[in-house]
Amino acid sequence: MILMPEKMEQINILIHKQDVDKVADTLIAAGAVELVKASELEQWSSKLGLVDLKNSVQRYSDLADRASLIAGKLSIKILATQSEGPKEIEYIDNRIAVIEEKITSMEKETSELFLKKESLLSEKEKLEEMSRQVSALSKDFGKISTRSVYSFLNVQPGFIEERNLPILERYLSSIPHVVVPGRKDGSRQYVLIIILKSDSNVLARGAKESNFQNVDISETGGNISEEAVMNVKKRLEDIIVKINSIGDKLHEKKSEYQSELNDIIGCLHVYKTVARVRSYFRKTRDTFLISGWLPSAEKNRVVEALNKVTKGSCYIEEINPVEKKEYSNGDLNVPVKFHNPWFLRPFELLVTTYGVPNYRTIDPTLFVAVTYLIMFGMMFGDIGDGIILSFIGVYLGIFSKAKENIRNLGIIVLYCGISSVIFGVLYGSIFGIEHWLPAVWMRPLEHITDFFKISIYFGIAVVSIGILINVINAYLTGNLIDGILDKSGLLGGVIYWGSVGVICKVFVKGIHAVNPWIVILLIIFPVFVLFLKGPIIHLFDSSRPRFPEGILTYIMEHSIEILELFMGYLANTVSFIRVAAFALSHAGLFVAIFSLVDTVNKVTYGVHGILIKSFVFILGNIIVIVLEGLVVAIQCARLEYYEFFGKFFKHEGKSYKPVTYYVENQ
């Protein structure tokens, strides 16, 4: 049934210890069973022994991380793989020893190359800077050496910010010195400073205060002649050759390791999964107990596979969770698997972003899809912009190689684009131009009042659906009394619908047309019953006290609750006015764009004017699609989450996550 999650069953499997490895492999390969600790489902099983493989799981994870790090450094793409061959623990232990040895060897070989490459790159960067600076100094100061001939002098080339040069001069003014200015590089001034070696400490202090940067010319032998410059460049060329050589070797390693690393990481994932699955097992001396959840539709396939690998020597117990006492008490959280057709599945992303519905309650995906698309289309109705959104959605959802959530988001964008096109036809709008096509329905700016009325009516419908879902969920989970005597339940719904009816009649025919008995029966009496909710529930369930925290506290709490009921429903309904408001703002933005185009048209002429007008028009539509499209999408989600989901999403369930060998592409 499309409105309900898929029916789940608890499965308990009892096997002989010689079948453990085969059963573990079968369960993982089936990809249909979510394993849980048996003690979570059957308390008596807590007395059985544990299979502790935490160290193995951690070891496999660490090895996989090391292998992935090597693959990442070599830019190797890890594909979805599955290890073939035996999955027995003895085989795995032997294989792991070989894998660990191989990973260690790969790390050693690649680390040496990468360390050498990093060292050469660092040296290359240093020589490049030195070459640039020494070349500039050589052109400015000619051939000069900081050694030998000037052994009693300290000859220091470098550069300084021009504004800091007076600071350096001030420090050097107390000693004999020569400052030879060179060329400028932006705000930096190249200089050559000559002082007595005995005054080097003064230069050091001045250099620190003025941020004077020494040019290290040690690679030139302390020489800044043209010959020294050529020597630096030659050394730089040699280093580049070495770097390229290492790059070639790393490329060879990539080709050599690519297949092997994919196999290793695939194996480690499989072995880690096997170990993790076995850690869920409980054991006696000769038998093992396995517990989990699986969809009823998958039961026959899984049971048949288990009987085949164990040759019928296993005992399988299938339990409907609804029949268990723990489920009726709310202590059993059954995993939820959505049961929607392919075209609705992308909208599960919107539902699960908020939460997962409880098992055996209504799946709201269908309602979300319909209401979300109607709201988006009403707010963003335009044929041209809708077509562009559709193309974006087709690319993201169908042609891109993004992850599943991004592809689902792309499909939602595609649906939103189609909805925009449909409402664009109804509005007669294409890229904001409304005189090309007639309006099949009506134009927002010409029927403002009607649009606000329609938004309110739509809001009433959405809130009402939320109330009805809450009542149905209460019945399905065995809490019908709470579903009736709740501000979001049937009683709250009667008050809401009665209030809506009375308000509509007042606006249409005046207050004199309202029958007082209608007000009493549909509003006042239900409010009175809601106020007495505690004592009434006590009549049906004596374990629940009439006034849990005293009668005065009860009166205060329920008085506030009734006030919140009226204020909350009013806020929920009025919130849907934003649907009309954004429809009007969408049309208003196009008016502003065309006004700007007209302004440009008055001050520009010819081909140049046509280009500018086209640019303004295209840029305006891009802004509308990107910014307003994003805002409208957020507003639609906000209305779903706060005004709709808030009526029935009482408790959060958990998603169904079967164990599998599958590895997502990295």
Give DSSP secondary structure letters for 362-418. Answer: --THHHHHHHHHHHHHHHT--HHHHHHHHHHHHIIIII----HHHHHHHHHHHHHHH
pLDDT band at 504 (very low <50, low <70, confident <90, very high): confident
Domains of the chain: 8-94+254-336 (no CATH), 121-239 (3.30.70.2750), 359-647 (no CATH)
Q: Quick check: 577 pLDDT over 50? A: yes
613 vs 608: CA distance, rounded Å: 9
Q: What's residue 665's pLDDT? A: 44
pLDDT band at 511 (very low <50, low <70, confident <90, very high): confident
Mean pLDDT score of the chain, rounded to an integer? 83
pLDDT band at 152 (very low <50, low <70, confident <90, very high): low
Q: Are 198 and 156 in contact (CB under 8 A)?
A: no
Q: What's residue 230's pLDDT? A: 67
Q: Are 654 and 335 in contact (CB under 8 A)?
A: yes
617 vs 614: CA distance, rounded Å: 5
Question: For the chain, how far is it from start to end, CA to CA, in angstroms?
Answer: 35
Q: What's residue 666's pLDDT? A: 40
DSSP string, 215-261: ---GGGTSB-SHHHHHHHHHHHHHHHHHHHHHHHHHHHHHHHHHHHH
More confident residue, 383 or 61: 383
Q: Quick check: 103 pLDDT over 70? A: yes
Q: What's residue 392's pLDDT? A: 95
Average pLDDT of the residues in 235-254: 87
Q: Quick check: 415 pLDDT over 50? A: yes
Q: What's residue 52's pLDDT? A: 64
What are the tens digits of pLDDT across the range 351-376? 999 999 988 899 999 999 999 999 99
More confident residue, 126 or 580: 580
Q: What's residue 229's pLDDT? A: 59
More confident residue, 148 or 407: 407
Average pLDDT of the residues in 101-127: 85
Q: Quick check: 142 pLDDT over 70? A: no
What are the tens digits of pLDDT across the range 195-206? 767 778 888 888
pLDDT band at 386 (very low <50, low <70, confident <90, very high): very high
What are the tens digits of pLDDT across the range 330-345? 778 899 999 899 999 9
Q: What's residue 22's pLDDT? A: 85
Pick the range with the lowest mean pLDDT from 123-137, 439-453, 636-650.
123-137
Q: What's residue 194's pLDDT? A: 66
419 vs 507: CA distance, rounded Å: 33
Q: What's residue 148's pLDDT? A: 44
What are the tens digits of pLDDT across the range 390-400? 999 999 998 88
Q: What's residue 200's pLDDT? A: 84
Return the structure tokens found at 175: 């000693």
Average pLDDT of the residues in 82-109: 75
Whole-structure pTM value: 0.77
Side chain identity, residue 503: I
How far CA 573 is from CA of 165, 281, 316, 651, 663, in Å, comes to: 71, 52, 52, 23, 46
Cβ-proximal residues to 592 (8 Å cutoff; 6+ apart), any chain? 620
270 vs 640: CA distance, rounded Å: 40
Q: Quick check: 630 pLDDT over 60? A: yes
pLDDT band at 261 (very low <50, low <70, confident <90, very high): confident
Cβ-proximal residues to 460 (8 Å cutoff; 6+ apart), any chain? 500, 573
Q: Quick check: 38 pLDDT over 90? A: no
Q: What's residue 132's pLDDT? A: 65
More confident residue, 455 or 218: 455
Q: Quick check: 164 pLDDT over 60? A: yes
415 vs 343: CA distance, rounded Å: 10
Q: Quick check: 149 pLDDT over 60? A: no
Q: Quick check: 151 pLDDT over 70? A: no
Residue burial 524-544, b: 16+ Cβ < 10 Å; e: rest: eebbeebbebbeebeeeeeee
Cβ-proximal residues to 26 (8 Å cutoff; 6+ apart), any chain? 305, 306, 309
